């Protein structure tokens, strides 16, 4: 009887533990949840960088609520391409995945530390191959 209980517990653990594993921030590549590599971008054909991020790291596109009275409405990430601020998420519609070396997501606090204020939604930093 005791042997059956141990086997049952092991079987339950074997079934439960894989369900707790992280999916890498919603991506299918299994890489870092804050980084998309050229390899991941090339695994599946996407027409634009926006489509790739939406499919592989959808959480990066979610609006975050403002932390102050100055920005009470939800804010999305700011987009930087090769170190220059380009604007909002719509900038990723104009970039092909084949032009990109890597894409990195920075949290609001990390983006504010690196780039200054007004990064409530964080930052998406894109490094192109042409750089």
Q: What are the tens digits of pLDDT across the range 75-106?
A: 899 999 999 999 999 999 999 999 999 999 99
Please give the mean pLDDT across all residues of the chain.
Answer: 79
The alpha carbon dihedral of 75, 81, 83, 87 has a sign of: negative
The answer to the question of residue 120 being in a domain is yes
Alpha-carbon span 67 to 70, nearest angstrom: 8
The answer to the question of residue 98 being in a domain is yes
Top pLDDT among 32 and 21 is at: 32
The answer to the question of residue 102 being in a domain is yes
Alpha-carbon span 90 to 128, nearest angstrom: 17
| Domain with 51 in it | 22-128
pLDDT value of residue 38: 93
Report the pLDDT averaged over residues 24-32.
Answer: 50
pTM above 0.75, yes or no: no
CATH of the domain at 97: 2.170.130
The answer to the question of residue 110 being in a domain is yes
C-alpha 84: how far from chain center:
19
Tell me the β-bridge partners of 87. Answer: 79
């Amino acid at each position: 009887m005791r042997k059956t209980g141990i086997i049952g517990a092991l079987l339950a653990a074997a079934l439960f533990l894989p369900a707790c594993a992280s999916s890498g921030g919603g991506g299918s590549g299994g890489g870092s949840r804050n980084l998309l590599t050229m390899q991941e971008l090339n695994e599946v054909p996407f027409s634009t960088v926006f489509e790739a991020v939406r499919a592989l790291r959808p959480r990066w596109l979610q609006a975050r609520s403002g932390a102050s009275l100055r920005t009470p409405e939800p804010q999305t990430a700011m987009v930087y391409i090769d170190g220059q601020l380009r604007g909002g998420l719509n900038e990723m519609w104009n970039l092909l995945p084949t032009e990109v070396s890597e894409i990195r997501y920075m949290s609001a606090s990390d983006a504010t530390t690196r780039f200054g204020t007004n990064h409530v939604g964080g930052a998406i930093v894109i490094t192109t191959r042409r750089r």
